[in-house]
Chain A
């Protein structure tokens, strides 16, 4: 028992040396997660903070000018040009010079003063329909405000219902608060799974795996010797991102570190398990890399990180039950923002544990089979 433990410790030491000895490989393990966390923390957002628009104001009346002033007064809309001809609308949208073109027809004010509906036309560049939809929504809001004011001044208050949103845990609905805790799991998964998958494949390609096999190590010990250092590196990456989240992005961490790290431990076990499983079925580093990649990509993109899981077809939602990242995202976000405890997170802990045991077991079985 003790001998076995000592052997594992020796292997762990060897593994750390192999990974951390090369300065370039140290660099590649810790720098990309930091850079990615910073870049994606700023970039990955569906919030629309500024929208360029152009105007074709055919009315040029006090009313139309007042409406446009309201748009310009909002922090979001930036007027790029006053168009003269209808044909210009096409050019401005086609060349992506403006996200929106607002056309106010000639009799706009006359309609308003006569108490008739006064339509304005808003054309959006739908090449990114998500952004276009958001921008159109903001225009509606500005126009609603204008309408309410107009009616009040005409002494005919209309329906006066306000929608008030109260969001728990993230009062301003800042998408960064959701995104950055999610990156802890995502970036760690990418790093750890690849690292693990490659480490066995590299030894196999260089022939050192055979040397390892003729030593008194048992398959289980070799596995532990591979799994533990990689989990430790993963924890290191996760901690780095956690620190950036707290001290750079200043996202308040309200949860418990014990819960978070227990969850991350299980998650990393699952990630390393998948990595070992991949490396047990691949012969070369290139294969290991590709198979790892084939798994990491769907895991990352279909985890709920980028698009909501509930928008995926039912079939894919079912398939993604095996995705460890999906549970890790839920877990990190909820511990981070909601202070969720073990009791609430059972639905994440359980699947992570099952995935970890299953993949580690599978990898162990594959290794043993290969040995005998």
Chain B
């Protein structure tokens, strides 16, 4: 009984010390509150895969009514801003100087070959920015289809017509999948990055040795480190959810309870990584670089946050299975856009739960080893 009381008093004292340390250091407050806000605003607004308007130069060498109709279709399209230029040379210069995103070339035999089957519309793009080029290629289908339809006298291009429906994101707004991923990024940074730095600093300064001569136990030490940073992470999470709701209007179709549960479990995983790394390397510089390599960059590139895991080579896909961010992003995207899909939610939650438990146990073991 007495032991428990002493234990809880020690934990409380240490937690208080840690919390005060956070509050007194402006950079910790910066990362806990200012940082999530900046990230949400910058990336919520800045990261978008929706191309608004493509600038094209058009060279109409045919100058017939057919070619003029085609140019007209591009002019009418909301996705293109058309500049007519007289020669290929000029169009090429504009593309090379990045004045336009690409050029459309209607060859002089356009009308003739249209009758004899097989006219060409050439798109000239600068492949250095392959993404932009690809987008332009895809967008060009629109005006061309419109033109074909009008030319065929209103009959649709068919006979088979694709009626497509994009579930969960009917308006094809890339923010819908970026904002849930952003929550994972924010929690990764607060949980793993900040924690790793703090413990490594204590090792560097030797204040941990001072703590270890007290009657404190490794478990108590960990709890006192986890609680305040968990609090910071929770604040970041709440800020993200609020921004998703009121700034970006991303629908939350799952339950708030499961969302919070998912965030809690992932935050514990991130904290576990941060604690383990710092206990292991004991240097702020190394800890920061390791955490950056182990958590932040994978969370950005290998989690499905921006780049779809399904498009990656199989070997890379295997690697992603050991990265917690992958499960967290999948959870957040599903809970936000699709709802409480049992099959997806529980599986990912279970994996994250196991990871959290394993990481915290490993940290406890590592701390104890350092003590003896």
Contact = CB atoms under 8 A, between A and B. Distances in A.
Chain A partners chain B:
yes
A244 interface: no
The winner among A51, A120, A173, A312 for most chain B CB atoms within 10 A is A173
A370 interface: no
Contact of A118 (B148, B160, B201): B160
3 nearest A-B residue pairs (beta carbon): A170-B127, A126-B169, A167-B127
B369 interface: no
A301 B164 contact: no
A28 B311 contact: no
Interface stretch (B3-11, B220-228, B257-265, B284-292): B284-292
Interface stretch (A88-96, A225-233, A268-276, A354-362): A88-96
Interface residues of B, number: 110
A35 B168 CA distance: 35
B108 interface: no
Contacts of A173: 125, 127, 130, 133-134, 137
A115 interface: yes
A170 B130 contact: yes
Given A123-B165, A126-B169, A129-B169, A290 B30 contact: yes
A43 B301 contact: yes
Interface stretch (A3-11, A144-152, A235-243): A144-152
22 contacts: A24-B286, A32-B289, A48-B308, A99-B310, A118-B159, A119-B163, A122-B162, A124-B164, A125-B167, A126-B337, A130-B49, A160-B117, A162-B120, A163-B123, A165-B122, A167-B125, A177-B130, A178-B129, A284-B201, A291-B27, A298-B43, A311-B48
Nearest to B343: A95
Interface of A: 24-25, 28, 32, 35-36, 39-40, 42-52, 67, 93-96, 99, 111-112, 115-134, 136-137, 139-140, 143-144, 146-147, 150-151, 157-171, 173-175, 177-178, 190, 194, 198, 202, 205, 282, 284-287, 289-291, 293-294, 297-298, 301-302, 306-308, 310-313, 316, 333-334, 337-338
B160 to A, nearest CB: 5
B232 interface: no
Contact of B285 (A45, A130, A285, A302): A285
Nearest to A47: B311
Contact of B152 (A117, A158, A165, A302): A158
B300 interface: yes
A39 B319 contact: yes
Question: For chain A, what secondary structure do more than half of its interface residues adopt (helix, strand, loop), or is it mixed?
Answer: helix
Question: For chain B, what secondary structure do more than half of its interface residues adopt (helix, strand, loop), or is it mixed?
Answer: helix
B147 to A, nearest CB: 8
Contacts of A166: 122-125
A266 B118 CA distance: 51
B162 A129 contact: no
B156 interface: yes
Given A127-B334, A127-B337, A194 B289 contact: yes
A139 B160 CA distance: 12
Interface stretch (B138-146, B207-215, B239-247, B266-274): B138-146
